[in-house]
Structure 1
């Protein structure tokens, strides 16, 4: 039976259900351009594109894709670039051309690109100029025929006082050359006009790839409707309008950034301040300069911001809403953020398979280190991962979700799709692979991934819980917990720690262990501590704990 415990904390003023739009994602942009054409849409290093200009460039690029490159309805097009005006233009141009966006992590390299090109059958890519060297071999192999190259500085103001990060400032469009390469400006200036927009709500719109635990990444098939559900749902949950200014620093290729920082603001006609790469001082400067009202981030960005020596000098007074997902926000960091901004960090939970949030904390009653409650029309439960039987409130099991934003299935993987779904009470539920529980008020809490657990002498240790506790240590900036072999306990807990800059000389392994022993149950405490300058992270900023775990396992195996 559908869990309705959360209705007791449903946010004030938010309807229980939403009438979902039946149009396309491009229709959102078209409608906003008609209504708010003169309002700023994209702000990038001192330059601004209005909604009318954005829509004009989207249509010009869509025309080129259709008329010159023969992109047809339902064709997949790779979108391989960092946050930039061209990413937004490219995303909506692909949709305007009735095609399907395949967003790619800009950190992807040859083998990954080859897999995506083969798997999707795409023949056209839009790519950042700095990434041409990585996609060129895919062209040489005949997998991709054309690449439209985006030169980010072309959309920045000539007299900008904030330079583009790293080597991006020196990019020159004249150097964007090679087999199959088309310069961005040439595509827009071709004069090609798109055919009438024929896609509908049920057509495929976006195929984000989910990394998974094993094997090659899998494409998550999303229609215009499923993407619209979380985009429209997000602005309904935390009301937004055309006066809002959003800081788009989350990677737009990732579903959270895509929805919260791009698709949502475009629905309401708000301004989007784009950051190509995260930099805490630049972010704070942009928030103050453009009076940013909404900042969606992940915990690693927030940790970096509050740990800045100059954090107390930042002017964050314009912010009215902060939050995000990807990983639980440590209690200690959430408190520091509240002290800086006066705002609660609103956490949410979702996956590529749910096109971002299926659960969000109620704005009027948020909890820290909590996934939130199921949002509009979502039925989410906790089941025994082995028997798939529903578990009582409070018991830990696998979180499963039924809702309008759940994906259609994995691209060309019917067997894996079938394994990921099951029927309960006549509904099709998606297995998230996350372990969690529901509290008496209907809030969901995640304990960990199904396979991420340390068994120390029979005691189950959930790494996420230990990591959250360790963030309270004043000298620890970040921590990742992994399991390591122990001849007596079978497995024991190891912490990989990034010290605060000011504590690098004084933080010791024994000191961390002793602190942990004073803060948590003995069986949870790390028995080994490794110090490092940085934790490995994905393009979306998530800590790659599996990489550390596999390295540890190899080292112990060799020993």
Structure 2
């Protein structure tokens, strides 16, 4: 049965447009940018709160910004931090850094100065591009930088909106430059020569323990990921894409920003994911592609304006970055008549590695491997493939897989192994594959609870809790106990009308009908809210830290 992984049963369900393999990328991202931006120079690339930016304008801005960086002393391979929200300036800076031969270090605008300091210091960044509202945070980080470029999002707004927004003054001083200052440079005619093996981006991923690690993403990784995704769900110059997912995150960065701009599409750009604006833009601009995260679909399932949109007309409605709970998918389908196609990916796989074919969605599955991806489900201890249908750790190989973690040799030794002539990356996720080649997520291997030697998956308990009509959110972690190893503890957020009315015993009675006795939480704690990651996932790491610190 383990031979089935190598036979790739999922190929039978590829859409007609999809290739079965992906040719090895050649050249750099910027070579493709130059071709695409010249080809579609007169077309709208970005629409930012009503202001249109043509491809030709972006092309000019990218080349001028690159020249401005070079004038500041940027050398090929230098790392540049990018600390700002979605905006036209983000697109110009990201591509301009690559054009100048630099490496982008994207940073979440939600990060504290402490988190920013680690990322800049660990990456060895020489320069930082920062939003004016985040400049004080960046200064508190205390990292010695050779140049700080300050961006005002106000400058990208339509003229009438700029009158309503108060900007922040850019402080004068050595090493601090307004973004507009760099755009005055004479544009670089051609990008600095880089190859597919050269580093392009260094995003950081937190994992479940320890400090975030830099993930080495090459030009070849970015181009391969783009080809793989486009082969499955292609954009064209007729596509209009909602781009509210954060560009600092690999999902928004690769699927939307690069995917859209390298395909001649039009991106409807938002700095903040306001549901009212998103729904209005979907209708007004007749969007064709919608990419979201589970927490947004949870909002939209009950939003009073969701019915404005003819969801069945859209070419793609997709969810990624976290597990889409079946209760959310069902509620959204009842409301809209549209199945959400779930996908899967990681920073280490340069965004997506799996997605549901849009005409053959299996609810509860995150789909099939993209073209060029070889997937195995292996025993976490032996690294040997397990029989089809059994749960094991997902391992992935392909041209989109990172070459490794930045300055983490021990981590690299643990994370990669060879099998069947392929180099595989251990995702740390527990999954299973069915006989048709569709994959199903169970849990993070590090989150699994061992109760008297039996595996207990927190997600299974969370799904059971969320099936209760009065439960809004749930998080489950293991509490160490020398008698049993660990037992599950649940943190629950009730719907507003149920708070103070639903008891722990009532929820346990509900769970007893759905879970084996050993899977039942020993404790249920009610909360007003749960800690979230910056992409909307329940942060089990923070809940575990509470347990370990005795705060729970």
TM range (shorter): over 0.9
**Is 2:252 aligned against 1:257?**
yes
Alpha-carbon distance, 1:133 to partner: 0.8
Alignment-derived partner of residue 195 in structure 2: 200
Q: For the Cα contact (< 8 Å) 2:229–2:370, is it kept in 1?
A: no
Partner Cα separation in structure 1 for residue 53 and residue 341 of structure 2: 30
Q: For the Cα contact (< 8 Å) 1:246–1:270, is it kept in 2?
A: yes
Aligned residue for 1:98, secondary structure, equals coil
Alignment-derived partner of residue 219 in structure 1: 214
User: Which is worse superposed, 302-311 or 414-423?
Assistant: 302-311
Q: How does 1:12-51 map to 2 (within 5 A)?
A: 12-51=16-55
Alignment-derived partner of residue 265 in structure 2: 270
Q: How does 1:80-229 map to 2 (within 5 A)?
A: 80-138=83-141, 141=143, 143-160=144-161, 170-177=165-172, 179-191=174-186, 193=188, 196-229=191-224
Partner Cα separation in structure 2 for residue 501 and residue 315 of structure 1: 29
**Structure 1 residues 46 and 39, CA, compared in 2 at 3 Å: closer, same or farther?**
same
With normalisation by structure 2, the TM-score equals 0.93
Alignment-derived partner of residue 503 in structure 2: 508
Q: For the Cα contact (< 8 Å) 1:12–1:364, is it kept in 2?
A: no
Aligned residue for 1:386, secondary structure, equals coil
Partner Cα separation in structure 1 for residue 62 and residue 187 of structure 2: 12
Alignment-derived partner of residue 70 in structure 1: 73
1:520 aligned residue (515, 520, 542) = 515
User: Which is worse superposed, 21-30 or 96-105?
Assistant: 21-30
Alpha-carbon distance, 1:49 to partner: 0.5
Alignment-derived partner of residue 404 in structure 2: 409
Alignment-derived partner of residue 532 in structure 1: 527
Alpha-carbon distance, 1:463 to partner: 0.9
Aligned residue for 1:108, secondary structure, equals coil
Q: How does 1:365-514 map to 2 (within 5 A)?
A: 365-484=360-479, 491-504=486-499, 506-514=501-509
User: Which is worse superposed, 329-338 or 82-91?
Assistant: 329-338
Aligned residue for 2:281, secondary structure, equals helix
- Which consecutive unaligned segments of at least 5 residues does structure 1 have? none
Q: CA RMSD in A?
A: 2.4
Q: For the Cα contact (< 8 Å) 2:14–2:232, is it kept in 1?
A: no
1:183-204 deviation digits (Å, cap 9, x = unpaired) = 1112212446466431222221
With normalisation by structure 1, the TM-score equals 0.92
Alignment-derived partner of residue 542 in structure 2: 547
Partner Cα separation in structure 2 for residue 514 and residue 313 of structure 1: 39
Partner Cα separation in structure 2 for residue 464 and residue 303 of structure 1: 17
User: Which is worse superposed, 35-44 or 3-12?
Assistant: 3-12
Q: How does 1:248-327 map to 2 (within 5 A)?
A: 248-312=243-307, 316=311, 319-327=314-322
Alpha-carbon distance, 1:539 to partner: 1.8
User: Which is worse superposed, 546-555 or 6-15?
Assistant: 6-15
Q: How does 1:231-242 map to 2 (within 5 A)?
A: 231-242=226-237
Partner Cα separation in structure 2 for residue 294 and residue 433 of structure 1: 30
- Which consecutive unaligned segments of at least 5 residues does structure 2 have? none
Q: For the Cα contact (< 8 Å) 2:376–2:394, is it kept in 1?
A: yes
User: Which is worse superposed, 115-124 or 93-102?
Assistant: 115-124
**Is 2:56 aligned against 1:56?**
no
**Structure 1 residues 431 and 415, CA, compared in 2 at 3 Å: closer, same or farther?**
same
Alpha-carbon distance, 1:487 to partner: 8.5
Partner Cα separation in structure 2 for residue 332 and residue 174 of structure 1: 47
Q: For the Cα contact (< 8 Å) 2:366–2:441, is it kept in 1?
A: yes
Aligned residue for 1:189, secondary structure, equals coil
Q: For the Cα contact (< 8 Å) 2:197–2:219, is it kept in 1?
A: yes
**Structure 1 residues 329 and 264, CA, compared in 2 at 3 Å: closer, same or farther?**
same
**Structure 1 residues 487 and 420, CA, compared in 2 at 3 Å: closer, same or farther?**
closer
